[in-house]
Structure 1
Amino acid sequence: MRPVPVVVHLTGLCLAVTTVVALELGAAAPSPGEVTLPGPATGGATAGGPTTGSGPTTGSAPARESEPRPAGVRVADLPPGPEFPRHGTGTWRVVPGGIGTTGVQYSVEVEEGVTVPQGDDSFAAVVDFALAHPRGWSRVQRFRRVAAGGEPELRVRLTSQDTARRLCGVELPYDTSCRIGDSVYLSAARWFRGAHAYGGELRAYRTYLVNHEVGHFLGHGHVPCPADGAPAPVMMQQTLSTANDELAAITAGVDQGVVITADGKACTANPWP
């Protein structure tokens, strides 16, 4: 989430890749305006977190938090939900499979010691979806996923809470993700639980998380909410808040690459660039 001493940015995949993702999930290939996001795991406390439905959804997010936070809970706190992987080995396994034919080569990886309830492929499907969707970075950059043995230019890594905190830093007392060099480290705590700003829309939040950190890989920095009621820019730190007043207070005195002004502007959650 925060900028790290190395540049952070990313891009997206072509529609053909989106079609492949849908086929891998056993669904009919959607038309350009109907691409849907793979659903989260189901079946128990470790199934991957809150959601507002059991079937696939579009990547859209709620306009505001769908439920008020309990008293004393801060917007940047980790939401309640299922258990998530707290510890890992600091090494990553590559998820098998490839998609796309041209563009930035990326691998999808899961830290050893981290178990994805529906399997590693379910994590990869969301990453592929986000990078291939026509509303994503694919508008300006194509992506191609490579399997183990390939030569990735970008590594998208699902990372345990402890490892993410060690790599991404703890200047802010919240679980965040980050990009370091050619690797994007996605916090498993956030992948399983989401963020209050998304009001329980875990699938939309996961799409945001991929797009935000890949945006860093592509060279984009953090930005504030531009206008009250507008969709939040994907490079806004939506994990922490979609309101400038709250972000200004949360990040005060901590270098995040941009100084947020408390100007009263509050955006709505948005997972797309």
Structure 2
Amino acid sequence: MKVHLVLVSVALTALLLTATELAGETSPAAAPSTPAPGVPSVLVPSSAPVAPSSRVYASGSDLPDGPGFPSSGAGTFHVVAGEGPVVGTGPLRTYAVEVEDGITVDEQAFAAFVDATLADPRGWTARGARAVRRVSGPASVRIRLASQQTARAVCGFEIPVDVSCNDGGFVTLNGARWFRGAVAFLPDLTSYRRYMVNHEVGHAFGQGHQPCGVAGGPAPVMMQQTFGVANDEIVRITGGVPQGAFIPRDGKVCTPNGWPFP
């Protein structure tokens, strides 16, 4: 099937992107594409510097080059200690932050990123739709950072792409994507992480997938931007596997966006 072009800016379309490595504080010149199984990684700060890479990506769904990431863990999770105030107005939704046992990350940094994302006025609390509060006990949404293999087991790998997912209020964020991001967002790892959190929590809040609606405009946060920001590209990658929404093959291409209300 012919690969369709992905728009990476309003003025420039190109699916074949010269990528940027998402490097850590001590970035090697050429980090391996895939870590050794079971090797843990330390959480990369969202402000980490990036180094150039010569790789050209064939698809918007490719996992970018970058630092190592947790490839496997125990498959069980523990709560990251901490609670927070009520943010927003409207019906209250509580959430807990969890990390998979057996992977080594800066858990407080991960939890702080989730907190800041959900508390942002551009997030799901905008316009009085709902309020959120982080708790350490029972919660309506549990946001989990998982290893690559655990995420594949939970979210599926029928389409051979590393993705995150929500299942009954259990939000699984794929560690491979947390550390590497997605082609459409390169080199902005921070924005992609916001997208991960908001997209999957959006599913937990009852939101379904959406296509790019306005060519050149910001992608809806519920668009499957891990696959790309072009409707045609998403149709090509998903290959007829149901996505819970009709995605038209209409040539529309959006710009990357991680906020429900940008």
TM (normalized to structure 1)? 0.75
C-alpha displacement of 1:157: 0.2
Query: Is there any run of 5+ residues in structure 1 with no aligned partner, and where?
Result: 1-39, 55-66
1:251 aligns with 2:235: no
Paired residue for 2:212? 225
CA contact (8 A) 1:168 1:177 kept: yes
Match in the other structure for 1:158: 145
**Correspondence for 1:42:** 25
Distance (whole Å) between structure 2 residues aligned to residue 189 and residue 232 of structure 1? 22
Contact 1:52 1:201 in 2 (8 A): no
The answer for the alignment partner of 1:113 in structure 2 is: 102
**Unaligned stretches of 5+ residues in structure 2:** 1-22, 29-40
Structure 2 counterpart of 1:79: 64
Whether 1:209 aligns to 2:196 is yes
- 1:90 pairs, out of 46, 66, 75, with 75
Q: Does 1:101 align with 2:90?
A: no
Aligned match of 1:199 = 186
Whole-Å Cα distance in 1 between the matches of residues 255 and 47 of structure 2?
17
Equivalent pairs, count: 218
Cα contact 2:43–2:110 (8 A) shared by 1: no
Q: Distance in 1 between matches of 2:169 and 2:214?
A: 32
Secondary structure of the residue aligned to 2:125 is helix
Of the candidates 110, 116, 134, which is equivalent to residue 129 of structure 1? 116
Residues 1:50 and 1:252: Cα distance change in structure 2 (over 3 Å): farther
Q: Tell me: higher relative CO, structure 1 or 2? Use CA pairs within 8 A at least 6 residues apart.
A: 1
The alignment yields a C-alpha RMSD, in angstroms, of 2.2
User: Which has more strand, going by share of residues?
Assistant: 2
C-alpha distance 138-251 of structure 1, shift in aligned 2 (>3 A): same
Q: Residue 125 of structure 1 aligns to which amino acid in structure 2?
A: A
Q: CA deviation at 1:126?
A: 0.9
Report the counterpart of residue 259 of structure 2 in structure 1: 272
User: Aligned partners of 1:228 and 1:101: how far apart in 2?
Assistant: 36
Q: 1:114 to 1:47 in 2, by over 3 A?
A: closer
Distance in 1 (CA, whole Å) between partners of 2:107 and 2:113 is: 10
CA contact (8 A) 2:24 2:48 kept: no
> How far, CA to CA, are the matches of 1:74 and 1:152 in structure 2?
37
1:60 counterpart residue number: none
Percent sequence identity over matched residues?
A: 50
**Are the counterparts in 2 of residues 52 and 200 from structure 1 also a CA contact under 8 Å?**
no
Q: 1:80 to 1:43 in 2, by over 3 A?
A: same
After superposing on structure 2, the runs of 4+ consecutive aligned residues of structure 1 that deviate more than 6 Å are 50-53
Q: Which residue of 2 aligns with 1:145?
A: 134
Instruction: Tell me the CA shift for residue 125 of structure 1.
Output: 0.9
Distance 1:215 1:160, change over 3 A: same
Tell me the SS of whatever aligns to 1:246.
helix
Deviations 1:43-89 (A, max 9, x none): 446565697765xxxxxxxxxxxx99844532101000001001111
- Separation (CA, whole Å) in 2 of partners of 1:263 and 1:124: 39
